[in-house]
Each structure stands twice: as C-alpha cells, then as structure tokens.
A and B are shown apart, each in its own frame.
With several copies, the nearest count.
Chain A
Amino acid sequence: MADLVGLAEAIAAHVHDGDTVALEGFTHLIPFAAGNEIIRQGRRDLTLVRMTPDIVYDRLIGAGCARKLVFSWGGNPGVGSLHRMRDAVQNQWPAPLEIEEHSHAGMAVRWQAGASGLPFGILRGYVGTSLPFHTDTIANVTCPFTGEDLMAVPALNPDVGIIHAQQADRAGNVMMWGITGVQKECVLASTRAIVTVEEVVDAFEPHVNGVVLPSWVIDSVCVVPGGAHPSYAAGYSERDNPYYESWDPISRERESFEQWLAEEVMA
C-alpha cells in the first residue's frame, strides 16, 4: 500500500547508491522533480534506465550520479544533442559512462518482460543492424514451432521505478492518461516504485487511454504539482518547448551546466 510522503523522503527511502533506477515517461509525464531530488541527495553509481534519456538524465549524468546508461534514443527532442550525455560518453566527464544501447522496440519488449516476470522477451528487431555487435543484451532465439530465428532481449527489472502521473486518489491508487509510454510496465517491473502526481482527487474520471495503478503496487506517492516540468502533464500543463531550447546553451559547456546545477538544483 502506497505511503503518501514528501518527495525527499521517498527518494531517501528508496533510491540508494549503486541502484538501477528508471525514471520513465515518453515526452509526456517525465518525472523531472524526482530526478532533481536524486541529484540533490547526491546519489552515485546509479545505472540509469530510460528509453529517451532526455534532459532529465542529461542532468543526472552531468551531476555525476550515473555509472551506466541503458537507453534507446539519447537526444534533446526537437532541439539536438544531450551535451552532458555526450561529454560523458566521449570524454568521460564527470565520470566514465558505460552505455547499453537498444532500439525503442527492444526496450519496450524488455519492459514488458520485466513486468511479466519473464526473463526475456522476443521481437523482430535489430536484424542487419550493428547494434547486436555492441550490445550484449541482444541474442538470437529460435521458434520451436517454425524454426524461425528471432531476437531476444532480457527483462528490465530495476531496483526503483519512478514515474509522474496526473492523479492519485485518497487510497493511493494512481491514474495517468494520454500518452502513457511504458510507465505501467516500469512500475510493475521495478522492485520499488515511486509515483509523483499533480494532485490528489476524491475519485477518478474516465479518460482516453486512462491507466490506473493500484496503491498496493506502489511504495510512495508524492504530490508534486508541476513535477514533470519542462515536460508536461496532459490536463494540467503544456510542454515547455522554450525550456528544451534553453537547455542547449545551459548544458553545452561544463561551466554553464555546473552553474545551473548550483543555482537551480542544489541551492
């Protein structure tokens, strides 16, 4: 049953140095506030899992929280590069960053397998590409009925999964809607789960692609209005596209990033 607690308390309770941590959200509902709190608490040696690292992981990587990144598309959406991620991969700054690289389809299958209690999942993917030569977590598997070769990828089962949703009810159940990405799978595949929400409501209304996660699969629910900024929460906010653009100059140089970090996160 989910505790309703403050974000700092939830992160302190559930995110530890060396953990594998996933903050999911596909453009929409990215748990930025939780990411900043992990930076503030000085976590180190995290393995960060996320389909699109986005600004949220550019920050964590630049702040030195990560030792490994598991991902499938690492750009600043609509803008360009993630400079802190690039600096870590190309120049090992502020620390070497091991990468484990997949496609979106592969990561989605890995999340499904993780949520399903299976050790692996299968897909028609990666065939002919260079990815299997550089990523250990891609293997062949043969269909026992047709003899056809397919690709297998191992389940994702992080220590902690963190998402942002629109609403919780008073029992600690959580509801999100609109573009919901792999967030259900992230919560169900992770050993511990934290959900930040825009607000607590008395009862949920039906929504397009409404997804409810019951309280008893969540460890902590934290009310953090705007906790997805600069991404958005449909029904509550719009994506802050100018912010995504402004991240490019902030993150381009180590100095400007560190200044931002000191002023906007650590202050």
Chain B
Amino acid sequence: MTDPTYTSDDIMTIVAARALEPAAVTFVGIGLPSTAANLARVTTNPDCVLIYESGCIGSKPVRLPSSIGDGVLADNADAVIAVPEIFAYWLQAGRIDIGFLGAAQIDKHANLNTTVIGPYESPKVRLPGAGGAPEIAANCRRVIVTLRHSPRAFVEKVDFITSFGYGNGGDERDKLGLRGGPTDVITDLGVLQPDPVTKELVLTAVHPGVTIEQVQAATGWDLKTSSSIVETAAPTAGEMAALTALRNA
C-alpha cells in the first residue's frame, strides 16, 4: 500500500461495498462482509436488503454488529425469524441476490476452505468449519468473496472444499445444478474474477500502487491477468469518512 491514508482493510471494504448492486438482497457474514454491506447501505445503496443467518431480514444496525446474532441486527429489522426458516425459506428458495463470504483458503477455481488445513483426520490447523457458507455459496445469484492475499491463502487446490466455487472449472458448477457462483474475489491487493469459460480466477483489477507482480507473488498458482485489467479507483474522502463514521458508531 503506497497511500498512507487508507489501510488494506479499508480498501477491501470499500471495493466490496462498491460491488453490491443497487437494492440487492444480500446475505451477510460477520466481519468485513458486514462492514462492507453496511457501508453500501448508509452511502450509495440505501435500498439494499441485508439478511443475517441469525434470522434477521432487512437489518439496519445503528452500529456495526460484533456478532452474527448481535441485538442491533434484530432491533430495526423488517422481520426476525427462526434460523431453520432463514436457510430453507429465504436462502435455499433462491431469494438472495448476493452472498458475501470470507475464507481461510481459496483455490484457482474459487472453491473456499474454512474447515481444515492439512488432512481432515489429523489437521494441521482446525478452522471453524462451514457455518452458513456452503449453502450461501450454492444458493445465491452471485457470491462475493473477500480475503487477504497470501500464497498460503491462494492455493492451487484447497485442502477441503467447504464451499463450492467452480470445482475443477468449466461447466462443473452448472452440472451440479448450483445457482450463481463467485463473481468477485476482493483482496487487499486487487480483484480476481472467474474466466467466463474456464472459470479460473484471473486478475481483473489491482488496487492503487499495487503491481501485477506483487499480486502474482502473493498467489499460490500461476495467476493469469485479464487483458482488460484496470486499476481500482482509490477510496474517496467521502467513502473514507462514511467508513470511519460507521466504525465509530
């Protein structure tokens, strides 16, 4: 990061917020996805509908939630319902436009791992596991992924597919009958998107001051670059102010 006025978290959050479509119904995980979704809601996208797996539909939190079941998510929500209904009636039924996921590992075909590093039976690192992610990844119209770039995180093949992206690529996802799939992987260095045919993630944007080589060095496979690669617009003063206000609320 060459610009000292924003952090890598800031730009990831702001780029993710920009990726939300107007009025999209968004299934939000806690942490950076939640910050990004709420940033969009209080700035450019007041009509986006935030859904949290704890059962909150249309959450309008007055401060950032510190957990998926934070009371502020329920307080001003349009509806609060039981967890089985959130997954069956809302997510599985295909009512969600955008799913917003993080991951510990992602691979070349956008499969996500939040379960285990190393063998499942004798793990090197035991991670939290699936939570809502597998069905968010399967049932939303599109999925946005945010995670920090590193060769350990961006790997040729994930150790465990917690959430299916494109499998081994090509039409594998379609053949399984899954909706959507990851469309944007937003990192601290840039943005990766799947090739329309092979579904291999390619670099489509670099953040200001980041070189393609830096991103390639932080990626555990031979990362290809889109012919139409762009530089991310730097966070504006307005975006930064809104983000700061949100964090301090």
Contact = CB atoms under 8 A, between A and B. Distances in A.
Direct A–B contact present (CB less than 8 angstroms): yes
Given A78-B66, A89-B123, A104-B87, A127 B79 contact: no
Nearest to A157: B93
B129 A71 contact: yes
Interface string B52-67: 0111111000000011
B78 A214 contact: yes
Contact of B25 (A71, A103, A117, A216): A216
B91 interface: yes
Given A81-B128, A89-B126, A209-B55, A130 B161 contact: yes
Contacts of A73: 128-132
A93 interface: no
A128 B82 CA distance: 27
A125 interface: yes
Contacts of A28: 54, 69, 71
Nearest to B53: A104
A109 B84 contact: yes
Interface stretch (A15-23, A34-42, A174-182): A174-182
Interface stretch (B172-180, B192-200, B223-231): B172-180
Contact of A103 (B54, B125, B132, B176): B132
Contacts of A101: 115, 129-130
A20 B148 CA distance: 39
B6 interface: no
A213 B81 CA distance: 11
Interface in A52-74: 52, 71-74
Contacts of A201: none
Given A26-B69, A116-B92, A125-B134, A214 B129 contact: no
A239 B67 contact: yes
A78 B30 contact: yes
B167 A128 contact: yes
B138 interface: yes
A13 interface: no
A91 B96 CA distance: 40
Interface string B15-36: 0000000010100001100000
A51 B131 CA distance: 8
A216 B74 contact: no
Contact of B30 (A77, A104, A214): A77
B130 A104 contact: yes
A155 B85 CA distance: 16
Contact of A212 (B79, B126, B172): B79
Interface size bucket, B side?
A: 35 or more
A152 interface: no
A123 interface: yes
A126 interface: yes
Given A73-B131, A104-B132, A117 B94 contact: yes
B120 interface: yes
A124 B87 CA distance: 10
A182 B83 contact: yes
Contacts of B30: 77-78
Contacts of B160: 130
Given A73-B128, A127-B178, A128-B178, A115 B88 contact: yes
B68 interface: yes
A208 interface: yes
B173 A128 contact: yes
A66 to B, nearest CB: 15
Nearest to A210: B79
Interface string B197-233: 0000000000000000000000000000000000000
B120 A130 contact: yes
B124 to A, nearest CB: 8
B83 A181 contact: yes
Contacts of B130: 72-73, 101-104, 129, 131
Nearest to B179: A124
Contacts of B67: 27, 77-78, 239, 241, 244
Nearest to B178: A127
Nearest to A101: B129
A134 B120 contact: yes
23 contacts: A27-B54, A52-B131, A72-B129, A73-B128, A78-B30, A81-B127, A104-B87, A105-B92, A105-B132, A108-B83, A108-B87, A109-B87, A124-B138, A128-B138, A130-B161, A131-B162, A173-B78, A179-B55, A179-B69, A184-B89, A209-B82, A232-B71, A234-B74
Given A103-B130, A234-B74, 15 more contacts: A27-B54, A74-B128, A90-B123, A101-B130, A103-B133, A104-B135, A105-B88, A115-B89, A117-B139, A129-B162, A130-B162, A179-B54, A179-B74, A181-B55, A214-B79
